[in-house]
A and B are shown apart, each in its own frame.
Chain A
Amino acid sequence: MSSWTWFHRLASPPSFYRLADRLAPWLGWLALALLGYGWINGLFFAPEDYQQKDAYRIIYVHVPAAALSLSLYVGMAVAGFVALVWRMKLAESALIAIAPVGASFTALALVTGMLWGKPMWGAYWVWDARLTSELVLLFLYLGVIGLWQAFEDPRAAARACALLAVVGVINVPIVKYSVDWWNSLHQGSTILKMGKPSITAAMAYPLFASVIGSYLFAGYVVLRRLQNELLSREAGTAWVRELMGRSRV
């Protein structure tokens, strides 16, 4: 099984910490560049929508946040599955690192959606499948965070959270396909469609940039949180002491 040694090396906290240390600045700067391009172009230079006028521009925040709220949940559930099956410590830490980031993006998606809904639908909130399932997603994240805080032993906490995250993953396809399954006030997807997308290129490129930029930003935040989590969990081990001795604390 020598082909798996790289995997075991990656899964060990000290080597993952060093890898994350090298990777995180790249993610951070790339995210900044892409978000800068996407948001400046999207907010100032992209053409006005023929129907929604300038109000549509919140899409450059709303769509990335909504996409991330789902992707981060899937990432959290995958980390939970790995933690449950292979008892991998790194995956336990990753689960805990992802949860608050995902909750923040879900809250951001909900708030921007409400701000967008007021001028378009005439109401901040409607009891509709897409909105309600996204709200349930927020509660699922909060449940994981609450469960994590209630335990004293971090390993038992991580496994309990992992079980909850894996069970809650059933909500993700409901959020994703709610606009197709039910008659929803929320508009359908305009970008990721088979064939020709129903959005013009001058609007689409800044949107792609802000989506990718947000993913990179989320990756950056998760990596940094994961590093902190590893440090606090492995506090007292030789590699943390060595690291703290080298850098000024």
Chain B
Amino acid sequence: MTLREIIKHLDAEVLLDNNQLDRDIKYAFAADLMSDVLSIDASEIILITGLANPQVIRTAEMSDISSILFVRGKRVTPEMTRLAEESGIALLRCRHSMFKSCGELYVAGLRPVF
């Protein structure tokens, strides 16, 4: 599934595309605990989170995660966008809850990491 399709499924907005919108994404991982994200082996995934601070971007950077979806319309600061831009990470945002976002994407075919 491409990020474009994810955007369509969730009526999400693109905060930063970083030329990632046509990238193929097979897996997703949802967490608000960044240590959980840092403990998984998979890269090339989309991170779904309700946490919005610079450490989310840093965590994705260290984990080779190239796209982040913020749920529940979380506010993304210019500092976060700047960090994501430097690291080539795309930022999306939707209004839905974490549960609904994950459910919609699961049904649409996105797979869990484990």
- Asked whether A and B interact, the reply is no
